[in-house]
Amino acid sequence: MLRKDKKILFLHRKKRGREYYILPGGGVESNESIREAVSREAKEELGINIKILKEFARFNNKGNVEHYFEGETKEKLRVVGDQNLHSFIEDKPEWIPNNQILDRKILPDKLRLTLEKYLNNNKAHHYSLAQFNFEDIRNKCPYLPELVDNINIYENSIWHSNESVFDHTLKVVEIASEIIKHIKPEIKKHLAEKVDRYSKKRLFLLSTLLHDIGKKDTIIPTENKDTDCPSHEKIGATMAINILKRFDLSLNESKRTKEIIENHGEIHLLLDGTELNKQKLTKFKSKYKNIYWGLVLLGAADVAATAPTTRKEGKDNLLFRINFYAEELGLSKKQFLELFPKPNLI
């Protein structure tokens, strides 16, 4: 990343009908260090020598660990991108103002969000819930500093295999959005009801986006080198109080969203086993009657998101949960399983 006058240099790439922005870069070769690779790529893609200032981001992207550095140069750009190697790629340098980062299609999306936080000093934004596209959350994820904080928080447990909390969150939102399309009509009708300005569906999806924001502040290692996030639900609900003030929600809408965040772990505790205690289920429905379907939908999406990485010792409980959620939501087991991420997409 090169900066001047509150602008960043990007490559505006056109590739096989797609247009987007990237930072100059490439892979590390076997005989070089990461920093040597950064210097080499700057020379190859921009035709310049650079001084590396510092690494400002590091995260997993599609199975690769990507490192991002800030640099500086006094030289003039001569070469641009990979277009010299590939005829189907057209790259043009473009200086984008810091305050337009969120308005551009910058790939990967994790970089776009990270840059916004890095360059604009963690400044929070105010949003209208109506503008969120939950079905395309991976490509249009809103900038929330609390979400960005979880990009580099990785979980290992019976359900997670070195998985970024941020990646898991987006996966759960995507699956929840898809599940809603297939559930029985009476639940759809319930979700269509408005609390004040917004429907219960949109508030549920917002709570799903925020449900694990407390994990950064609660994650700890366990004796077997796994991780645990005790009380992340309550910590996340406390964090949500300030986050929800940045949305155009009524007090009732904020309260409902916060309640789902605070209690979403309760559905997992209810289903922790291989048999359903009907008496406990009845009490559960009574206790959480206002948010019951939100908890069930979030639990179902969470199970679907983690199913491909569930360890052997969790398979019996996984099957039990799958059967419960499918029946409760009015899905066939086949319908529910078809919503699960494929292993090669994780």
pLDDT in the model for residue 26: 92
Residue 49: CB partners within 8 Å, gap ≥ 6? Answer: 39, 42, 43, 73, 75
Structure confidence at residue 346 (pLDDT):
26
* pLDDT of 88: 84
Distances 334 to 218, 322, 323 between C-alpha atoms, Å: 36, 10, 10
Q: Show the tokens assigned to 146.
A: 């609390």
What pLDDT score does 142 carry? Answer: 94
Return the DSSP state at 120: T
What pLDDT does 344 receive?
A: 32
First to last CA, the chain: 28
Cis status of the peptide bond prior to 308, with omega within 30 of 0: no
**CA–CA distance from 184 to each of 155, 179, 191, 228, 328 (Å)?**
33, 10, 11, 34, 9
Kindly compute the dihedral angle of the four CA atoms of residues 209, 211, 216, 218, in this order, to the nearest 10 degrees: 180
* Predicted local distance difference test score (pLDDT) of residue 83: 62
What pLDDT is attached to residue 300? 98
H-type helices in the chain, by residue range?
34-46, 109-119, 145-148, 165-180, 185-192, 200-210, 232-244, 251-270, 278-287, 292-306, 315-329, 333-338
User: What pLDDT does 85 receive?
Assistant: 63
The first and second tokens of residue 340, run together, are 């699960």
pLDDT at 62 (0 to 100): 85
Q: Are 2 and 9 in contact, with CB atoms under 8 Å apart?
A: yes
User: So what's the pLDDT on residue 80?
Assistant: 65
Kindly list the structural domains of the chain, giving each domain's residue range(s) and its CATH number in brackets, ordered by start: 3-119 (3.90.79.10), 129-345 (1.10.3210)
Q: What is the pLDDT of residue 153?
A: 97
Q: What is the DSSP string of 10-45?
A: EEEEEETTEEEEE-S--PPPTTS-HHHHHHHHHHHH
pLDDT in tens, the chain (346 residues): 999 999 999 999 999 999 999 999 999 999 999 999 999 999 988 999 999 999 999 999 988 999 999 999 999 887 666 666 677 888 899 999 999 999 999 999 999 999 999 998 888 999 999 999 999 999 889 999 999 999 999 999 999 999 999 999 999 999 999 999 999 999 999 999 999 999 999 999 999 999 999 999 999 999 999 999 999 999 999 999 999 999 999 999 999 999 999 999 999 999 999 999 999 999 999 999 999 999 999 999 999 999 999 999 999 999 999 999 999 999 999 999 998 986 533 2
